[in-house]
Amino acid sequence: DVKVTQSSRYLVKRTGEKVFLECVQDMDHENMFWYRQDPGLGLRLIYFSYDVKMKEKGDIPEGYSVSREKKERFSLILESASTNQTSMYLCASLLGGANVLTFGAGSRLTVL
Amino acid sequence: DQQVKQNSPSLSVQEGRISILNCDYTNSMFDYFLWYKKYPAEGPTFLISISSIKDKNEDGRFTVFLNKSAKHLSLHIVPSQPGDSAVYFCAASALYSGGGADGLTFGKGTHLIIQP
Mean pLDDT of chain B: 91
Residues of chain A with a CB closer than 8 angstroms to some CB in chain B: 4, 9, 30-31, 33, 35, 37, 40-45, 48, 50, 56, 58, 90, 92, 94, 96-106, 108
Side-chain half-sphere of B4: how many Cα atoms within 13 Å?
A: 28
Question: CA-to-CA distance for B8 and B61, rounded, in angstroms?
Answer: 21
Tens digits of residue pLDDT in B13-67: 999 999 999 999 999 989 899 999 999 888 999 999 999 999 999 999 999 999 9
Sorting pLDDT into bands at 50, 70 and 90, what band is B98?
Answer: low
Burial of A44 (0-12, 13-18, 19+ CB in 10 A): middle
* CB-CB neighbors (< 8 A) of A90 in chain B: 43-44
C-alpha torsion B25→B110→B50→B46, nearest 10: 130
What pLDDT is stored for residue B94 in this prediction?
Answer: 83
The Cα-based distances of A9 to A1, A44, A105, B9, B94 in angstroms read: 21, 19, 8, 26, 31
Tens digits of residue pLDDT in A51-82: 899 999 998 999 999 999 999 999 999 999 99
Tens digits of residue pLDDT in A35-48: 999 988 989 999 99
Q: Which amino acid, residue B33?
A: F
Is residue A84 helix, strand or coil?
Answer: helix
Is residue B101 helix, strand or coil?
Answer: helix
**Residue-wise over A64-84: b if at least 16 C-beta within 10 A, else e?**
bebbbeebbebbbebeebeee
What pLDDT is stored for residue A100 in this prediction?
Answer: 82
